[in-house]
A and B are shown apart, each in its own frame.
Chain A
Amino acid sequence: MATPDRRQGGVWQWLDERIGLADLAKLARKKEVPVHRHTIWYYLGGMTLFLFMVQVTTGILLLLYYRPSAEEAYESVQFLMAEVQFGWLIRSIHSWAANLMVFTLFVHLFSVWLLKAYRPPRELTWLSGIGLMGIAMAFGFTGYLLPWNELAFFATKVGTEITGVIPVIGSFLLRVSRGGDEVTGATLTRFYGIHVAVLPLLTTLLLGLHLFLVQKHGMSVPRGIERQGNPKRVMPFLPNFLLRDMVGWLAALAILAALAAYFPAELGAKADPFAPAPVGIKPEWYFMFMFKTLKYLPAHILGIEGEVVGIVGFGLGGLFLLLIPLLDRKTARGERSGLFTMIGIMVIVYMIVLTYLGYTEVATQ
């Protein structure tokens, strides 16, 4: 046991004797962050975490008014937006923070990719991170349906239909994900349960592992910097790095508040299963590059239906992403790996170009 710190008060000592505060404080003091020209990327993970905390807080608040049924969901959100004091603010922040969180998560992912921070011994940190990305996208997909408006209805129809395309188990998955053969109120309650209970539980477990691994291994120093002899400077995590983190979080909160005030979340028209899909229908921006790809694919490619080729292709892409630390043998050996840098840049360019095309196309052509 650490020697009691005389500067601390009685409460601190009482707690220290029971949970070992001194040991924790020692651990926290030991944590250091390398300082070099790529240090800026270290802030993205913490930023994503902060935005996730915003989601938890606003999500709990939304639960107090939301009603998960096809008859009441749309009306309860309408009530929340129009009648409840600051209801519009809470929902708009939830919606904007979700988008920003996916964005910072992507930036975090690609910075880790290009700096090859996944190299041994951090493969599991990468795997758990990709798992968290999958969860974040599932959060986005299930949450999008909950207001039960027209856009959400058709986005869910298409999105769940995609699971039906998966060979062999597709039709089974389709029924389980929809809670029936069609997108109905049963789908809504199912998505609600997944969004507010299943995914938060999975996130807690996987995020716990991810953060534990980050603590265990410390920050990864890019290979190029390591070559020049380890970084010459470090800064203590407490309080130097954390304070810088908090400056970023405060800025993010200000941006969120501004976005929510100037561009509040929309609700649109209530879902009607017997109305045609609205013109200009679009998914959330982080699904846009996949949506646009499916739009471009011809009906048949080598005798196989185009959408099957596209969806299986994205599935394999996801698997590749997950397995990068195991596939990139050069990086694992400590050598330069130009190929994987190249692939990373190509993926970024592909996503940006298709997202751009998706937002600039004329809806009716």
Chain B
Amino acid sequence: MAEEVLGRDTTRRKFINWFLATSGGAFLLSVLYPIARYLIPPPAGESAAASVTLPVKPADVKPNSGQIFKFGSRPGILIRTPAGELRAFSAVCTHLNCTVQFRSDLSHIWCACHNGHFDLKGQNIAGPPPRPLDQYVVNVRGDQIVISKGA
């Protein structure tokens, strides 16, 4: 008789423990799930713009110089090579995301953060960057410079 009661008691205790644990767990999940989702920012509308017209005239970009322009929400860099050709790249360094600049003294693109060097074709030639810069297409239409993403 005593054993029977004890046996029944332990299973009841087990059931209550199980019940408490699962409902406790479910409660915790129902609290943590919305918080976790809240912390993840909603996706920003990725700039759909595939091309951008720059507010500078081709004549204003001197040979062996470069400047940053807005390409959607990210910076791009427009350079004119010493030979006179206009080229455009993403200005986001492939190493750790800093914004690159044109070094007239070196005649190529350089990142100040970790000393990464890119040549006039955007190829990573020295320092830590692991990949070349993305190249954009430059079209000169009269007085306007239009930059678009490559095919």
Q: Which residues of A contact B (CB under 8 A)?
A: 154, 157-158, 161-162, 172, 175-176, 178-182, 186, 273-281, 291, 294-295, 297-300, 305-307, 363-365
Q: How far is the CA of A307 from the CA of B95 in the complex (A)?
A: 7
Tell me which of A176, A276, A305, A365 contacts B99 (CB under 8 A): A276
Q: How far is the CA of A194 from the CA of B40 in the complex (A)?
A: 15
Judged by a CB distance under 8 angstroms, whether B145 is at the interface is no
Contacts of A186 in B (CB 8 A): 41
Q: Which residues of B contact A (CB under 8 A)?
A: 39-41, 44, 68-70, 73-75, 77, 91, 93, 95-101, 103, 110-115, 124, 127-130
Extra inter-chain contacts (13) besides given A275-B99, A295-B127, CB under 8 Å = A154-B113, A158-B114, A172-B40, A180-B41, A182-B73, A277-B98, A280-B112, A291-B114, A294-B114, A295-B128, A298-B128, A299-B129, A300-B130
Q: How far is the CA of A178 from the CA of B99 in the complex (A)?
A: 17
When the two chains form their complex, are residues B128 and A297 in contact, meaning their CB atoms are under 8 A apart?
yes
Q: Closest CB of chain A to B128's CB: distance in Å?
A: 5
Residues A175 and B112 in contact in the complex (CB < 8 Å), given A161-B97, A273-B75, A277-B98: no
Contacts of B99 in A (CB 8 A): 154, 274-277
When the two chains form their complex, are residues B115 and A305 in contact, meaning their CB atoms are under 8 A apart?
no
Q: How far is the CA of A274 from the CA of B71 in the complex (A)?
A: 10
When the two chains form their complex, are residues A281 and B75 in contact, meaning their CB atoms are under 8 A apart?
no
Q: How far is the CA of A277 from the CA of B100 in the complex (A)?
A: 6
When the two chains form their complex, are residues B41 and A179 in contact, meaning their CB atoms are under 8 A apart?
yes
Contacts of B114 in A (CB 8 A): 158, 291, 294-295
When the two chains form their complex, are residues A175 and B41 in contact, meaning their CB atoms are under 8 A apart?
yes
When the two chains form their complex, are residues B128 and A299 in contact, meaning their CB atoms are under 8 A apart?
yes
Q: How far is the CA of A307 from the CA of B116 in the complex (A)?
A: 12
User: Which residue of chain A is the closest to B109 with respect to CB atoms?
Assistant: A276
Contacts of B101 in A (CB 8 A): 276-277
Q: Closest CB of chain B to A362's CB: distance in Å?
A: 10
When the two chains form their complex, are residues B97 and A275 in contact, meaning their CB atoms are under 8 A apart?
no
When the two chains form their complex, are residues B130 and A276 in contact, meaning their CB atoms are under 8 A apart?
no
When the two chains form their complex, are residues A277 and B128 in contact, meaning their CB atoms are under 8 A apart?
no
Q: Closest CB of chain A to B56's CB: distance in Å?
A: 13
List, sorted by A's number, 25 A–B pairs whose CB atoms are closer than 8 Å.
A158-B98, A158-B114, A161-B96, A162-B96, A175-B40, A176-B40, A178-B41, A181-B44, A182-B74, A274-B68, A276-B68, A276-B91, A277-B93, A277-B112, A279-B112, A281-B98, A281-B112, A281-B113, A294-B114, A295-B127, A295-B128, A299-B129, A306-B128, A307-B95, A307-B130
When the two chains form their complex, are residues A157 and B98 in contact, meaning their CB atoms are under 8 A apart?
yes
User: Which residue of chain A is the closest to B70 with respect to CB atoms?
Assistant: A274
Q: Closest CB of chain A to B133's CB: distance in Å?
A: 13
Contacts of A298 in B (CB 8 A): 128
Q: How far is the CA of A176 from the CA of B73 in the complex (A)?
A: 18
Contacts of A278 in B (CB 8 A): 112
Q: How far is the CA of A72 from the CA of B132 in the complex (A)?
A: 36
Q: Closest CB of chain B to A283's CB: distance in Å?
A: 10
